[in-house]
Structure 1
Amino acid sequence: MNLNDYPCKNPSDATSDDFCYKGFMNDNKVFNIYGLSISQATANNFPGLNSLGISMIQAELLKGGVVRPHTHPRASELVVCTKGRILVGFVTTDSVFLYKILKPKMVFVIPQAMLHMVINVGKGNALLYAKLQQSKSRSLFNSTPSVPDAA
């Protein structure tokens, strides 16, 4: 059986390994021109996430490195700083830039669809983890007229 285009295991065949991701332990970091290295745990490489609507990102930033401004139209994001100092912020719908400089163990939330970015403002490399949580659009399911089913 497939769910979300990913194969589903028979629940009686599931093991704890299906729910454990070790990909962030890889030390083979490749940094892009913005001083950013990203590893992702998604349903593509972590089957236990299939149909849960969540994913996790590990991002390492060189000194001065940047996660360029971007959005997640269907997901909110929770950012946890684990090393260094990062400036993380988003632009509200009223065009106000809300931000904080995070130190290790600090958390910042970015609401769904907000333009946001991260900059390493520390003296060395910074490490962060970000959890993305998909939201189901209520307007799609409660629209008038309703969205027709496939015929």
Structure 2
Amino acid sequence: MTSTSPDSISLAGNTSNKLRSAVNLVNVEKLPGLNTLGISMARIDYAPYGLNPPHTHPRATEILVVLEGSLYVGFVATDNKLFTKVLNKGDSFVFPIGLVHFQYNYGTTNAVAFAGLSSQNPGTIRVANTLFGSKPPMSDDVLTKTLMVDKKTVDYIQAQFQ
């Protein structure tokens, strides 16, 4: 099956945002033919210094392949050990199911990667959005104690997500 929609993975995503990245996920919602097949994919575009911020896929392992540019990537294992690598064109990296991971274009040119995911509906949970962008907001007491910062800092960060 092919896609000719404006958000086709053949087209670069709009990276003119705070993160300087764009993710175009092709999952069962966009391509119903994927239902029950256990696969999906994404194109990720990164402007210079663009970030796909720390996030997790609760229902999928991800394999990422760099098509253009270079990326600094990593994930945090369940023992809080950080695994990182610099990827160049043609390199790949695997992010295990459910683990927090990220990709960062540390270079001065654009980067493009494709990702394969082991679920037709992998889900995406962005760490910062979850903590600071929930509706209603998470308790200040929970956030200040979790992050070991004061309420003023929590308020400042929450304001970035409104």
- Flag whether TM exceeds 0.5 (same fold): yes
Contact 1:84/1:123, CA 8 A, preserved across alignment: no
- 1:119 corresponds, among 94, 97, 104, to 104
In the alignment, the residues of structure 1 paired with residue 37 and residue 26 of structure 2 have an alpha-carbon distance, to the nearest angstrom, of 12
Paired-residue identity, %: 33
1:20 equivalent in structure 2: 2
Q: Alpha carbons of 1:20 and 1:101: their partners in 2 closer, same or farther (altered >3 Å)?
A: same
1:38-72 CA-to-partner distances (Å, cap 9, x unmatched) read 21211122233121121111010111111110111
Higher CA-based Rg: 1
In the alignment, the residues of structure 1 paired with residue 77 and residue 110 of structure 2 have an alpha-carbon distance, to the nearest angstrom, of 28
The TM-score normalised by the length of structure 1 is 0.71
1:54 equivalent in structure 2: 39
RMSD: 1.8
TM-superposed deviation, 1:36: 0.7
Q: Alpha carbons of 1:121 and 1:29: their partners in 2 closer, same or farther (altered >3 Å)?
A: same
Q: Alpha carbons of 1:78 and 1:59: their partners in 2 closer, same or farther (altered >3 Å)?
A: same
Paired residues for 1:1-150 under 5 Å:
19-22=1-4, 23-27=8-12, 29-134=14-119
TM-superposed deviation, 1:29: 2.6
Number of residue equivalences:
117
The structure carrying a bigger strand percent of its residues is 1
Q: Alpha carbons of 1:28 and 1:96: their partners in 2 closer, same or farther (altered >3 Å)?
A: closer
State the secondary structure of the residue aligned to 1:24: coil
Q: Alpha carbons of 1:54 and 1:31: their partners in 2 closer, same or farther (altered >3 Å)?
A: farther
Q: Alpha carbons of 1:80 and 1:28: their partners in 2 closer, same or farther (altered >3 Å)?
A: closer
In the alignment, the residues of structure 1 paired with residue 19 and residue 98 of structure 2 have an alpha-carbon distance, to the nearest angstrom, of 22
In the alignment, the residues of structure 1 paired with residue 24 and residue 86 of structure 2 have an alpha-carbon distance, to the nearest angstrom, of 22
Q: Alpha carbons of 1:30 and 1:64: their partners in 2 closer, same or farther (altered >3 Å)?
A: closer
**Unmatched segments (≥5 aa) in structure 2:** 121-162
TM-superposed deviation, 1:96: 0.8
In the alignment, the residues of structure 2 paired with residue 30 and residue 122 of structure 1 have an alpha-carbon distance, to the nearest angstrom, of 15
